[in-house]
Structure formats: structure tokens, C-alpha cells
Amino acid sequence: MRARAICSDLDEPDLAALRRLGRRVSLAAGQTVMWEGDDSTVVANVIAGTLKLSTSTGGGREQIVGVIYASDFIGRPFGARTPHSVTALTDAHLCLFPRSAFDHFARDHGALQHRLLRRTLDDLDRTRGWLLLLGRKNAQEKMATFLLDVSRRLQLDRTGRFELPLSRQQIADILGLTIETVSRQMSEMKRLALIAVEGRRGIRILDREKLACLAEGH
């Protein structure tokens, strides 16, 4: 699991030094760690749990701009402001670093900085892919894309079922839709036997092929 983390290339002494900078923090689902616009004072590694990154318009409309899984990195190194809020979707554990200490450490450790760069480049690619979804896909395409994306990121249990880490409203906030539209799309896909819905959060993908077609708009 540490293999994905940014500290995975550090040797043992450096790793120990980094650990001394950080402290473990537990979060309950719903707790917000950082607020959009605040000073950027801390960064963190996610040990366990799922979190969301979000921004809002003046009028209170929210858009989720990223979903963070275990071994991901959060916060804004080398910057004065936190560009978006970070909120736990499930209970979570973080390894929290003061930003300035982390920044210094990173400057002195090329391997860490390199990891961070690669991760940031990947995030940027993924986020730009999301622009296509928000700007040019319709509700059905969005929903299909989302379900495939989540099923790829989460480990399924042996029966192919997985738990959405998000409520319908949060899915809507990711896809730029309303909760009603999300619900209608899920019902429609259930009706078409593309997915099975088990309880509020359980999903089983029945026809990955067709779902992928819908995601591309065919």
C-alpha cells in the first residue's frame, strides 16, 4: 500500500526523519480538515479512508473537484492558500505535516519531490479528463463513466459488488448534476440490467461492456 505513497522512494533514515515531522490524526466521516481559501498550513498523507476536495460558488452550489483514497496526498505544498476544502467522506486516518516543515524537507529530498511531481502530473491528467465529462457529456454518459471509474479504483469483493463511498448528493456534486437526475439515471441503468443496486451504497456491475458504451455516448 505504501508503494503508491509519495514517501515510497525514501530510504530508512529519511523516512524516519519524515515521520518525526508528522503526526497521526483520526477523522470522523463528515469532518473537514481544510477550508477553501484558508492559509495553507498543513499537508498530509492519507493512511486510510476516503475524502473529497470541493469548492463552492458564492451562491452555495458545490462542486467536488477530487476524491482522495488511501495513500493519496492532500494539501497545497509550496503555496500560501488552500485552493479547496478537504472533507472526510468516511472515517479516516491521516499523517499530518506542518506545511513549512514539509516544504523544507521536500526541497532537500529530490526523490520525494520527484514522487510528488509525478503524482501531481497524474492528478492533473485525471482532472483534465474530468473537464471533458463535465463540459461535454450528458447525464447518462456521466453516470456510466462515474460507475466505471469508481469500480476501477475500489477493490471489489469476490462477487463483483462494491460500496459507493459517496451519497447520491455527493455523486451529483461530482458529476455536476442534481440528486434527482443521478437517481433517475441509476434507476434507468437498473431497468436496463446494466447494474444491480443493493441497499443504498451497494453496486454490482452486470454488463461492463454496455456500460462502457454508454460512457462514450454510443
Partner DNA sequence: AAGCCCATTTGACAGAGGTCAATGATCGAA
Partner DNA sequence: TTCGATCATTGACCTCTGTCAAATGGGCTT
Q: Measured between alpha carbons, how far is 125 from 31 in angstroms, rounded to an integer? A: 28
Nearer to DNA, 6 or 182 (CB): 182
Which residues lie below 8 Å from residue 204, measured CB to CB, with a gap of 6+? 159, 160, 161, 162, 195, 196, 198
Residue 119 CB, nearest approach to DNA (Å): 30
Residue 161 CB, nearest approach to DNA (Å): 13
Q: Which of 31, 63, 113, 183 binds DNA (CB under 7 A)?
A: 183
Point out which residues bind a copy of itself (CB under 8 A): 53, 55-59, 61-63, 65-66, 76-79, 83-84, 107, 110, 113-114, 116-118, 120-125, 127-132, 134-137, 141, 173, 175-176, 216-218
- Which of the listed partners (a copy of itself, DNA, none) does 180 bind, with a CB threshold of 5 to 8 Å by partner kind? DNA
Residue 106 CB, nearest approach to a copy of itself (Å): 9
**Dihedral pair phi/psi, residue 89, rounded to 5°:** -90, -35
Which residues lie below 8 Å from residue 38, measured CB to CB, with a gap of 6+? 81, 82
Q: Which stretch binds DNA (CB under 7 A): 71-79, 92-100, 147-155, 167-175?
A: 167-175
- Which of the listed partners (DNA, a copy of itself, none) does 183 bind, with a CB threshold of 5 to 8 Å by partner kind? DNA
Can residue 76 be called a binding residue for DNA (CB under 7 A)?
no
CA 93 to chain centre: 15
Residue 189 CB, nearest approach to DNA (Å): 10
Can residue 139 be called a binding residue for DNA (CB under 7 A)?
yes
* Cβ–Cβ < 8 Å for 1, 70: yes
Q: Measured between alpha carbons, how far is 26 from 18 in angstroms, rounded to an integer? A: 19
Which residues lie below 8 Å from residue 142, measured CB to CB, with a gap of 6+? 133, 134, 175, 176, 177, 185
Can residue 176 be called a binding residue for DNA (CB under 7 A)?
yes
Nearer to a copy of itself, 22 or 77 (CB): 77
Residues that bind DNA (CB under 7 A): 138-140, 167-169, 176-184, 186-187, 197, 199-201
